[in-house]
Structure 1
Amino acid sequence: MQHLEASSAGRVLQRLCDGEYHSGEELGAGLGVTRAAVCRAVQRLREYGLAVEACSGRGYRLPGGYEPLHLAGLEAAWRQAGGEAGAQLRTLFRPASTSDEALRGPPEPTAAYFAEAQSGGRGRFARAWASPLGGLYLSVAYRFARLIEPPAPLAVAVALALARTLRELDAPVSVKWPNDLLLEGGKLGGILTELRGEPQGPCRVVIGVGVNLAAPPGGAEVGDQRAAALPGACYRGRRTALAGRMAAAVAVTARAFEAEGLAGLIEDWPRYDALGGRQVTLSAPGRVLVGRACGIDPQGRLIIEHSGGRERVSSGEVQVRAQP
């Protein structure tokens, strides 16, 4: 819990993790601050997305408690899921985004950054991604000697790997091309890849992941799609382990992508495809394409069947068309 102490809000949260009532006087004395400072910290926690209760004569309580990320637990889950030995894992309280931290970090072969919340999370097309306390926010930085394929399809493979991980928890997660995680039709999470360097030579790719836990956050990057959240039964008491497993799945996928390319990583795409056989509209710069989604090709491009035949597209935003 050490990283929670980075701010007064984090220090108060540390005391409220048990879900019990703690008076303002008790919190202030334990933290060496005034009751007014405690009140301000509680207000900040509410602004960060936590429903902290206040009861006259009893104090403050966080119903259900809170499971902070533990570095030791992250490292154990990372190793068990095949994460690279010697990789650096770092925990943060509320950075602008884990990807920003990863992009600024030292050029290690592999590193993973985890946060309790983000103040400036982002998704595709520079959209804001709401990141309240208690979600899953992580970024993996992976150094490639060279990329044998363009880096964009890596997000497709990562989304598929994460969907597999979440289905192991009995969450029926699917993937909406190219990199959205869906749960029962709502947007559960997303992946953003950013590259530094030249793909033909040494380069560093940062893969950011955001997954909603608990109540869907308002203002998330969902477009016209409702937000979804992972049921508590899938992660409660295992948030740290799940974060470590997901980060390892990202790193393992990046390693396989570097060695073998994309095709072998997406063989089971039909099992997870949220668009297969559905009528869709794809919007891309300068064009709109309407037709039926027919899976993806070995390069990760979406196949759309329309009046002119079948077409493969490598980028764009897809919306499912309402049935007539």
Structure 2
Amino acid sequence: MNETRRALLDELAGGPVSGPTLAATLDVSRAAVWKQVEALRTEGFGIESTDDGYVVTSVPEFGASAVAYGLDADWAIEYHDSIGSTNDRGRELATAGETDVVVLADEQTGSRGRLRREWTAPSGGVWMSLVFAPDRPPAHAPIYTLAAAVATTRAAREAGVDASIKWPNDILVNTVSEGTSDESDGVIVVDEDAPRGGRKLAGVLTEMEGEADRISWMLVGIGVNANIDRDDLPAGATSIRAEAGDVERRLFVQRLIEEFDDLSGDPEGVLDAWRASADTLGRRVRVETATETIEGEAVDVEFPGALVVRTAEGERTVHAGDCEHLRPV
């Protein structure tokens, strides 16, 4: 999206604006204003010319201009109906020097999660990568993974889904019960097929390139099962549609970007927000690191994102690993 169209969208979001006022504000000709208005109409915007000026009467369901309209954060939007991977595209932009860009897609055909695990990303979901360059050392990079998880969780909760975070980067919806009780004979029968901790709603995948003292670029990939039938998802996953009905993706993405923008502006404040949204704290966990397995109770998280686990031998601080929620003893 060009800068003139983005500026025009910002002006239109404030209410009726006349053509001459738009031309003067944007420093373009009235013919250029008309051309951009027609382009927005072609994209699906309803824009009427009234005595008071141009008025937006309807907004497309999804797309770059739809998300940019009314977005309260200074991020450019690049939209694709279908793409192999938003993270791959984000890396291209980052290495070319672009920053503060959101790559957004309706569908991904080559998506992946942590450890290059397959991740289903059909049409109807929210698949996005945020490209930025924080003025921070590389050691602080994990805090942005936590910030993205909090932002996604908050947006999901606003959509009516009881979402929470499994350390460090999975957003879950708690199952009603992790087992079933057979009252006839007093025996607890555990359903081994029930996901431990909850069904996966979304995930975060962070990539970075940096020097010794600063991050050169960073991208945070976020995948959310939004308006997708549960039958079209892998076992153990869920979607916003399955939990609360369809969400207006345009507004969902706006809220997610705005929350991330606020959180990333105050990295030291992210931990409290993460604790408030976390499902991992207070649970028995098993964390597989590159060298060992650590099991115990997750009791806290430390900057920039390490999990503190209380084990039989004392507290351990885990900076990276694959975390599994365990059923209570």
Shared topology, TM-score over 0.5?
Answer: yes
Deviates more, 1:130-139 or 1:291-300: 291-300
Aligned to 2:121: 131
Residue in 1 aligned with 2:54? none
Matched, 1:102 2:90: yes
Q: Does 1:256 align with 2:266?
A: yes
Counterparts of 1:264 and 1:152 in 2: how far apart (Å)? 14
Q: Does residue 320 of the first structure (1) align with residue 308 of the second (2)?
A: no
Counterpart residue identity of residue 302, structure 1:
L
* Counterpart-to-counterpart distance in 1, 2:263 and 2:212: 17
Distance 1:125 1:237, change over 3 A: closer
Residues 266-314 of structure 1: CA deviation (Å, up to 9, x unaligned): 2133332212222111111120011111121243211111111111111
* Structure 2 CA distance for aligned equivalents of residues 270 and 208 of structure 1: 21
**Which is higher, the Rg of structure 1 or of structure 2?**
2
How far apart in 1 are the matches of 2:102 and 2:262?
12
Counterpart of 1:187 (choices 200, 203, 212) is 200
Letter in 1 for 2:78: R
Q: Which structure 1 segments of 5+ residues have no match?
A: 1-66, 258-262
Q: How does 1:123-272 map to 2 (within 5 A)?
A: 123-147=113-137, 149-184=139-174, 185-198=198-211, 200-201=213-214, 203-213=216-226, 214-216=228-230, 220=234, 226-231=236-241, 236=246, 238-257=248-267, 263-272=268-277
Q: 1:323 to 1:234 in 2, by over 3 A?
A: closer
After TM superposition, list the pairs within 5 Å mapping 1:288-299 onto structure 2: 288-299=293-304
Local SS of the residue matching 2:142: coil
C-alpha distance 252-109 of structure 1, shift in aligned 2 (>3 A): farther
TM-aligned CA distance change 1:232 to 1:247, over 3 Å: farther
After superposition, where does 1:271-290 map in structure 2 within 5 Å?
A: 271-290=276-295
Q: For structure 2, which runs of at least 5 residues remain unmatched after alignment? A: 1-59, 175-197
Closer, same or farther: CA 276–208 of 1 in aligned 2, 3 Å:
same
TM-score (norm 2): 0.68
Counterpart for residue 306 of structure 1: 311
SS, match of residue 281 in structure 1: strand
Residue in structure 2 matching 1:78, options 53, 56, 71: 71
Supply the AA of the counterpart residue of 1:104. Answer: E
Q: TM-score, normalised to structure 1's length?
A: 0.69
CA distance in 2, matches of 1:78, 1:232: 27
Q: For 1:88-119, what per-residue CA distance to the aligned partner results, in whole angstroms no more than 9, with x for missing partners? A: 21110211111111111242231011101001
Q: Which residue of structure 1 aligns with residue 106 of structure 2?
A: 116
- In 1, Cα distance between the equivalents of 2:67 and 2:318? 37
**Aligned amino acid, residue 283 of structure 1:** E
Aligned-residue sequence identity (percent) comes to 24
Distance 1:128-1:218 versus aligned 2 partners, 3 A rule: farther
